[in-house]
Structure 1
Amino acid sequence: MNEERIYKVLLGPLVSEKASLAAESGQVVFRVATNSTKAEIKKAVETLFDVKVEGVQVSNLKGKTKRTVRGLGKRKDTKKAYVRLAEGQDIDFMDVE
């Protein structure tokens, strides 16, 4: 996987109450590109953060339909990745360059 694709796969960390509960069990949650695969996500996390990934679970979220002045509109579909890190591994987002 080339360097450009790595940065296009991971869009950023997801910070929520559910993500903080997952962090207690050794998982990190990322927003990822909708056309990315589990193998690409695993490779991107391992190369960017220099950690060992045990597994990746992916969740597809459909965009909500919202009422606007001009009729109905739809938000974008998104994709989340729950990445399980190996025992003793940790990602500190403040320390990454």
Structure 2
Amino acid sequence: MEKERHVILRPLLTEKMTYLSETERKYAFKVDMAANKMTIKNAVEKRFNVHVEKVAVVRLKGKSKTQTVRSGGKVIRTNGRRAHWKKAIVTLRPEERIDLFEGETAV
């Protein structure tokens, strides 16, 4: 089994997720592409000492990017792609929450 610290890469702190964490007890994390719902659930429960009710997973495609650079009187155009990534939205029990700024949980 994978290490729990390698499953959760970082929390996603946006306005929408802040609102959902306050109202619906939902938290979003950027997770490893190979992780499934059970490994994500186990990793969140062990890392934050909470009980997870539900896990939703979304696979997101990386954006295509074009960069233009002027160098020595020439225009150089390069194309690239950002990496694909996976997002997990975790729902906790009603009496639990995760304090992502302090790294501790409150019951």
TM-score w.r.t. length of structure 1: 0.89
Alpha-carbon displacement from aligned partner over 1:18-38 (angstroms, at most 9, x marks no partner): 211221211011111111100
Q: How does 1:8-23 map to 2 (within 5 A)?
A: 8-23=6-21
**Identity level (%):** 39
Query: How far 1:78 sits from its partner (Å)?
Result: 1.1
Runs (4+) off by over 6 Å: none
Greater helix share, structure number: 1
What is the alpha-carbon distance in structure 2 between the residues aligned to residue 96 and residue 15 of structure 1? 13
Equivalent position of 1:65 in the other structure: 64
Question: What is the Cα-based RMSD across aligned positions, in Å?
Answer: 1.5
Unaligned runs of 5+ in 1: none
TM-score w.r.t. length of structure 2: 0.81
Greater strand share, structure number: 2
Larger Rg over CA atoms: 2
Alpha-carbon displacement from aligned partner over 1:52-93 (angstroms, at most 9, x marks no partner): 000100111100000124431000111111000011101112
Unaligned runs of 5+ in 2: 68-75
Q: How does 1:1-97 map to 2 (within 5 A)?
A: 1=1, 5-23=3-21, 24-68=23-67, 69-96=76-103
